[in-house]
Each structure stands twice: as C-alpha cells, then as structure tokens.
C-alpha cells in the first residue's frame, strides 16, 4: 500500500514539474531524454543487471524497441495533455489507464475476475467517457479536440506500457536487465529525435 501511494505521489509530482517547468522555458523532450539517461544509470547501480551475459537470441528485442519508443512518447503526450486539459483531468486519465490494463489481464493473461472487478472496470470506462464529454462541453473547436486527443493518448499510452511490461515479466527472463535496456533505448531514441529537431536548441538547464 505504501508503494502504491508513493507511486501515485511521484506521478503527480512529475505532472506538476512538467507543467510548471514548461512555463519557465524548459524543453519537455530534452528533460525526458535526460530522465531516461538518469533512469538507465540508476537502474544499473541499484539492480546490478548482468549485462555481460546478454542472450542475443532470447532477449525480447521487439519489446525493448517498442517500449523504447512508447515511453518517451507518452511523456510528450503527458506534456500536451497538461497544457490542453490541465493536471486534474490528466491525472485521472493516468489512474484510469488501469481499466485497460485489467481488460488486457483478463483477455490476454487469463486472469480471473469477480463481479466486483467487472463493476470497477465498467465504472472506470464510464468515468473516462464523462471526462471526455465534460471537456468537450467546456471547450470548443480545435482546443477541445487537442485536449481530448491528448487525454486519450495518455489513457491508452500508460495502459500500453503496463501491458507490455507485464508481458515482459511473464517471459521469465531477467526483468531488471530488460528494463535497463529499455531505458537505454528510450534515451538513445530521444536523443536521435532531438538531433533531427532543427528548432530545438540545447540548454544545459534541461538536464
């Protein structure tokens, strides 16, 4: 329970920092890139994965590549959602992504559900629809469409990360090693993206 509370608190803190730092001129993608550089280093130092004995044949490279793309992309979607929809609705969309994760657990991982879980899933989907409809009524035109698209991207994106990480852990491989490779891939792809962004000037403060 403590870990769940800590994870939720850190998630809110990330949203607050992204929203406020962007207003102060920080570049989200540059912060995201250096975030994964730090995550790669900390993952290696904390978990000490056995990188020297990587199995080229058995390592799920397609999962590593997929998550290496999705992870930085979802933070970009998060930044857009914070800009267009605000912190509260963005955080709700993140929390409700568990609904899609539960559906995947039922259909793909053969987890058994009771009536209470099914009721929770139904209420979660209903809550998402209410958020989207409420924002559609509050805003108008392109601003509303951008907000709805950003919220849906956060909802589906976080669920996709949960599902792929769960699938990775179910393969019975070294999860910490795979996680470290995912963070490294996310960092490398983020840097490549920034290199091709001609209008993105590098600033030391984003590190």
Average pLDDT, integer, range 173-193: 91
pLDDT value of position 198: 65
Q: How far apart are CA 27 and CA 204, in angstroms?
A: 11
Query: Is residue 180 a contact partner of residue 49, using CB atoms and an 8 Å limit?
Result: yes
Q: How far apart are CA 126 and CA 118, in angstroms?
A: 12
Confidence of residue 60 (pLDDT cuts 50, 70, 90): confident
pLDDT value of position 117: 73
| 112 phi, psi to nearest 5 deg | -90, 135
The share of the chain scoring above pLDDT 70, in percent, equals 88
Q: How far apart are CA 17 and CA 23, in angstroms?
A: 10
- Give residue-wise pLDDT tens across range 138-182: 555 666 778 888 888 998 999 999 999 988 888 877 888 889 999
pLDDT value of position 1: 62
Average pLDDT, integer, range 88-113: 80
User: Could you count the other beta carbons within 10 Å of the beta carbon of residue 206?
Assistant: 20
First to last CA, the chain: 32
Across 33-42, 80-89, 106-115, 173-182, the highest mean pLDDT is recorded for 33-42
181 versus 16: the higher-pLDDT residue is: 181
The number of folded domains in the chain is: 1
Above 90 in pLDDT, residue 186?
yes
Flag whether the pTM goes above 0.85: no
Residue 50: domain span: 2-206
Determine if residue 81 is left, alpha or beta; phi over 0 gives left, psi from -120 to 50 gives alpha, anything else beta: alpha
Above 80 in pLDDT, residue 82?
yes
Above 90 in pLDDT, residue 184?
yes
């Amino acid at each position: 329970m403590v870990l769940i509370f800590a994870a939720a608190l850190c998630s809110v803190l990330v949203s607050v920092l992204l929203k406020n730092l962007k207003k102060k001129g920080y570049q989200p993608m540059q912060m995201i890139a250096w975030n994964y550089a730090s995550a790669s280093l900390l993952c290696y130092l904390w978990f000490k994965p056995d990188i020297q004995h990587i199995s080229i044949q058995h390592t799920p490279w397609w999962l590593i590549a997929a998550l290496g793309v999705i992870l930085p992309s979802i933070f970009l979607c998060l930044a857009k959602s914070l800009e267009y929809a605000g912190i509260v609705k963005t955080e709700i969309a993140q929390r409700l992504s568990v609904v899609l994760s539960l559906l995947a657990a039922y259909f793909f991982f053969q987890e058994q559900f009771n009536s209470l879980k099914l009721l929770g899933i139904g209420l979660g989907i209903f809550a998402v629809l209410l958020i989207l409809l409420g924002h559609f009524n509050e805003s108008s035109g392109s601003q509303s469409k951008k907000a709805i698209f950003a919220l849906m991207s956060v909802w589906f994106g976080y669920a996709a990360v949960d599902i792929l990480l769960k699938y990775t852990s179910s393969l019975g491989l070294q999860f910490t090693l795979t996680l470290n490779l995912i963070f490294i891939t996310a960092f490398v792809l983020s840097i490549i993206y920034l290199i091709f962004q001609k209008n993105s000037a590098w600033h030391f403060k984003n590190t």
